[in-house]
Amino acid sequence: MWFLYIVKCKNNCLYTGITTDLIRRLSEHNSGHGGSFTSLQKPVRLVYQEEYPSQEEALNRESQIKRWSKKKKLALIRNDIASLKKLSVSRD
């Protein structure tokens, strides 16, 4: 099982990634061993996750979400379907 996840960093930035072990990966991010971006922005807090059966599916979804605006990512986190649809049409 693969997880796509979004964490909120201490400066309110959102970081999107994938892993097979969410607990381990969050621990890595918060200990400074989870990548250069989050090591400078810890602590991080998990705000969203999705499960996928394969790495390929998780990578595809990660790639899609990383292209989104912060507004659209926040709508996803809130499960705000109306805003997601609007933001999918508009680049605001």
58 assigned to some structural domain: yes
Question: What CATH number is given to the structural domain containing 23?
Answer: 3.40.1440.10
8 assigned to some structural domain: yes
92 assigned to some structural domain: no
**10-residue stretch averages of pLDDT, the chain, 92 residues long:** 96 95 94 81 92 98 96 97 87 54
Cis peptide before 43 (omega within 30 of 0): yes
Q: And the tokens for 28?
A: 């890595």
Tell me, what's the pLDDT at 88?
87
88 assigned to some structural domain: no
Give one DSSP letter per residue of 19-86, joined into a string: ES-HHHHHHHHHHT-S-HHHHTS---EEEEEEEESSHHHHHHHHHHHHTS-HHHHHHHHHT-HHHHHH
Q: Supply the range of the domain harboring residue 43.
A: 2-67
Tell me, what's the pLDDT at 84?
93
54 assigned to some structural domain: yes
85 assigned to some structural domain: no
74 assigned to some structural domain: no
Count the domains in the chain. 1
Give, as one character, the DSSP assignment of residue 88: H
**Is the entire prediction scored with pTM above 0.75?**
yes
